Amino acid sequence: MADTPMVAAHHVRLGSNSGQPMTRRDGIAKVTGTATYAADNHPQNLLHAVFAGASIARGRVTSLDIKAALAHPGVVHVMTPDNTPALSQDPDQKPTPFTARIDVLQNDKVRYAGQPIAVVLAETLEAAVEGARLVKATYDSVQARIGFDDGEAFAPEAVGISTPPKFSTGDFEGNRKKATQSASVEMETPLQYHNAMETHAVVAQWDGDHVTVDMPNQAIGLAKPGIANYFGIPPENVTLRSPYLGGGFGSKAVLFGPQMLGILAAREMKRPVKLALKRDQMFGPVQHRSATRQSVRYDMDSDNKFLAFEHTANVSTSSFDNWLDGAANAGVSLYATPSISVSHSGTRFDTGTPGAMRAPGIATGSAVIECAIDVAAEKAGMDPLEFRLLNYAEKDPSNGKPYSAKALRECYKAAADSFGWKDRPLKPRQMRDENGLLTGWGMGTSIFHAPFFPAKARAVLRKDGSARAETSGADMGQGAWTVLWQMAADGLGMAADDIEFDIGHSELPDGSVAGGSAHTASAGGALFAAGNDVIRQLAEIATQDKDSPLFGAGNERVLGENGRLFKADDPNVGESYTDILQRAGIEEIEGKGRGNRDKASTETYAMFSHGAVFAEVKVDPDLFQVRVTRLVGAFAAGRIINPKLAKSQLTGGMIWGVGFALHEEGIHDKRSGRPLNNDFAGYHIPVLADVPHLEALLVDEEDPHVNDLGVKGVGELGITGTVGAIANAVWHATGIRTARYPIKIEDLLKGAQALEA
């Protein structure tokens, strides 16, 4: 890190690019098909790889008949555990918490349905597909265990990346005794599969012991040494290219078996190999969101203020790894509560291993918490918004720290006003539309951490006035190509159109993980700092040059904008970057940077983005079909670099919330353990017709502490809050609360029968 100076805060100002609703700079390339995704690469002499997946979920492969596959025209080889060499790193080791245990034909064990058991290599994709179909396996099969009542229980050591599974604060038992009323909710959330539009893929080419890998990846800086470890080569022998990702959602942040098999096959065959997953293969080896069984309880005093908050979550993982969604940590910083007790337990399913999926922990946890809040409001006889304001957290209840900034009140107001919340009847089943559909309004609070990763970046300014900025960052559709470009240009004090910009491959400075909603703050902060480092050096030259109008001005008193350096207190005094460099006879200046979060701030403040989501649903009174007809959210996430793309992220998150509330569910057959709905016909996600009206408002929030630029994330925020808002709206329409997500017609019908009885 010594080579990447941090830029002091007094240099921090943003230029004219940030804050603009710039259109995606990669948009034309994407819609015209010239943006190259991993599987679009077709090197000469390419072999196609398709893996055969296990048809059982637990047991052993006792024999593999590959004769028919090998005899198929075009098939050149079939990799099996019998002929596949060991990797240099045991794939069941986890050298870092970002490593998953992967299945790469190292033995005959089967740990989940769809696990790769053989890889067919062929001259054409069609031959490889047919070859994989012709592989015949026999198994020694054991009954699969999928579901909380069937899986093996265990006590987890950590949840998420490395969060403790239990937390408590305050006099929980004492406060509970003091309580005059309580509200509790028990709900389950299902397995959810990431299902990015672009399936996981790899194109690998070896040249001696150097490998070039085209692979969508959210964390190039982690993937490069990770691949090197598996293949026993130094990290500098791995070139990873990931200029575009067709969605990531967390499942492209870690290395998985199929892609490592593609790289291994290329080394074995001494030819380039492409391996791209088919949609059904996305339901196993490349992560999913844990299922949860949650219980949330709020205890209140006679003034309807919270005394105690309890959240327990039983969370699924695989039989062989230990990632657990941290659902029960979602509420510890949310509402004012003097005492808290949260804990996780684990259940092992015979599925692939879960991992981070958009708003991990918070999405699942808040989906249940927001229902409990509304049940509590109902017991208090209060409007849900009034009730949330009564229990508004002025400080983080988990640790007493002030928030670095929290404009949640403003979010509540902006979204409620726009939605028309004040006209909401308190009781359920009060509203019908002109067609007689039951109509309900519900709300939820959005919250997400504002983490910060140590990303690095480089910027270069040349004598001819041209400039370049770069970091290894990842655009998975969220807009990094544009937002990071804007920040890089502002760091250099130039227009975005006047600089070259590059992200998405491993030869660039480590832009860290595009995840945790931290990429704009982290990689953007680094790019901005790198540009500032250039300006600092340039000012050094100008202010010491007697021939410069800036002579003697002092480094800290000059600014750069539009390719010109000028006095901060007298913008008329200045000169162009090129004049300075040409007079000094300097070819180029290189700046390095990483974004900065003040260490003391980290210890002093609780850092979160916030928001409020209001939902309207219409429910058929007889058939109980649910439609979300309106969603209005307002969000505060510090400085917004690009309002157009921030809104796009937030509305995308809200749509994800619709899917969570009403559609998404990975269903496995209890007997075989196989996924039953491993395609888009069976695994439902929202389409356009599922969300007629969608509005995301951005609330101004200045956060002086979160990092030098005051930037927080918006990627995951919009999911949280939305799920509960929809469930609460369904209750408001029908008077029914279901015990699980997604909210289904059959559960509402049962609820209706119970209401009538």
- Contacting residues toward ligand MOS, per CB under 6 A: 218, 248-250, 253, 356-358, 360, 515-516
Q: Which ranges constitute the DSSP H helices of 244-322?
A: 257-269
Which phi and psi (to 5°) does residue 570 adopt?
A: -150, 80
How far is Cα 720 from Cα 714, in angstroms, rounded to an integer?
Answer: 11
Q: How far apart are CA 725 and CA 632, in angstroms?
A: 10
Minimum distance of ligand MOS from residue 517's CB (angstroms) = 6
Least distance (Å) between residue 654 CB and ligand MOS? 16
Annotated active-site residue 716? The verdict is: yes
The helix/strand/coil state of 686 is coil
Q: How far is the CB of 608 from ligand MOS (least distance, A)?
A: 15
Please tell me the number of Cα atoms within 13 Å of 35 on its side-chain side.
22
SS3 state of residue 516:
coil
CB of 601 to ligand MOS, least distance (A): 22
- For every residue of 435-494, DSSP letters joined together read T--EEEEEEEEEEEE-------EEEEEETTS-EEEE-----SSSSHHHHHHHHHHHHHTS
Q: What's the token pair of residue 249?
A: 């959602």
Residue 407's contacts (CB-CB under 8 Å, 6 or more residues apart) are: 610, 636, 699, 700, 701
Closest CB to ligand MOS among residues 221, 440: 221
**Shortest reach from residue 716's CB to ligand MOS, in Å:** 6
Closest approach, Cβ 283 to ligand MOS, in A, equals: 18
What sign for the dihedral angle of Cα 449, 455, 461, 462? negative
Phi first, then psi, for residue 403 (nearest 5°) are -75, 145
Quick one: 681 exposed, middle or buried, by C-beta within 10 A (0-12, 13-18, 19+)?
exposed
Conformation bin of residue 319: beta by default, left when phi > 0, alpha when psi is -120 to 50:
alpha
Judge whether 521 and 61 are in contact, CB under 8 Å.
Answer: no
Beta bridge partners of 154: 346
Between 357 and 380, whose beta carbon lies closer to ligand MOS?
357
Helices (DSSP H) in 232-322: which residue ranges? 257-269
Q: Between 248 and 574, name the residue whose CB sits nearer to ligand MOS.
A: 248
Q: Which is nearer to ligand MOS, 360 or 397 (CB)?
A: 360
Shortest distance, position 518 Cβ to ligand MOS, whole Å: 8
Measured in residues, the chain has a length of: 757
Q: In this complex, which beta carbon is closest to ligand MOS, that of residue 151 or of residue 504?
A: 504
Most distant CA pair in the chain: distance in Å? Answer: 91
Write the secondary structure of 644-680 as one string of H (helix), E (strand) and C (coil). HHHHHHHHHHHHHHHHHHHCCCECECCCCCCECCCCC
If the CB atoms of residues 338 and 638 are measured against ligand MOS, the closer one turns out to be: 638
Give the nearer residue to ligand MOS in terms of CB position, either 334 or 357: 357
Q: Is 740 exposed, middle or buried (0-12, 13-18, 19+ CB in 10 A)?
A: middle
By beta-carbon proximity to ligand MOS, the closer residue of 7 and 654 is 654
Cβ atoms 716, 449 nearer than 8 A: no
Q: Which is nearer to ligand MOS, 49 or 523 (CB)?
A: 523
Q: What are phi and psi of 487, to 5 degrees?
A: -70, -35
Omega before 428 within 30 of 0, i.e. cis: no
Minimum CB distance to ligand MOS smaller for 249 or for 683? 249
**Residue partners of 657: CB distance under 8 A and separation at least 6:** 363, 613, 631, 718, 719, 720, 721, 722, 723, 725, 726
The residue whose Cβ lies closest to ligand MOS is 250
CA neighbor of 116 nearest in space, from 258, 19, 9: 258
CA-to-CA distance for 50 and 753, rounded, in angstroms?
49
Catalytic residue among 130, 370, 470, 716: 716
Active-site residue set:
716
